[in-house]
Structure 1
Amino acid sequence: MTASDVVFTDPAIDDLRRIGPDVAPRILKRILLLLENPEVVRLGEVVDRLGALTDHLHVDEPPAREPVPDWLADRLIYTVGMTREEVAALDLERAVDLWAEFHSNPR
């Protein structure tokens, strides 16, 4: 691996900008020194091989959970009497069901 093989992601570039012109050159120099370290080079090769072995794997991400709107969360907390933690653990469908159940039961 050579210095020309190093590719910085946008967040990494943003980090370098944020740390400023006094520190960024020292960080970049350390990165270049790592490229000369045989152990780091071997580690990079192992990571590359592992990546190649797992290229065919696909992990499905769970569907994004719709958040409970603030107004409904407030009603469940202040009117129904649930804790914030209980409401935070709910998905939108369950929160609506609990609110409807609360309204349908006479008190």
Structure 2
Amino acid sequence: MVERHGKAVAAVVGMAHLEEIRRLEQDLRESVLLLARVATDSGARTDLDTAIEALGLNRGELEAELADDRVSALEESPHTIPLAEALSALGRVIYGLEAATEPAVDQVPDWLVHTLVNVVKMPRQEVDRLTPAQAHQVWDAYVSSPRD
């Protein structure tokens, strides 16, 4: 602890503790945003086609433009490959490097677990049994349903 005039002005903390503080700060920001959206949600929904028409646009033209943009972006951008594949092609030849393919992470994000427990009021045990897709479906159903 560093003090100036008898008041704490700085502290030395471990990196793990600092990362936890940063993660909690981000979770808090997301929760506040989420709660603000839930609190101000009137329950009214507009489908995409109605919104497109209200803006004076045409869905077919937008889809064609999007398809053209995607094709031109593919032609301009370099091709990406997984790190393990790149090291296999380049690194091993020079340095004898190898990389294992990273396993896919299939868990419900922390913010969604927190939201389902604290906003939707689901029991934690039920949330823990959900797949990420199921958890997103529960949240989508909740935000799409009218509230009093």
- TM-score bracket relative to the smaller structure: 0.3 to 0.5
* TM-score, normalised by the number of residues in structure 2: 0.29
Larger Rg: 1
TM-score between the two structures when normalised by the length of structure 1: 0.39
Where is the strand percentage greater, Structure 1 or Structure 2? 2
Q: With CA pairs under 8 Å and 6+ residues apart, which has the higher RCO, 1 or 2?
A: 2
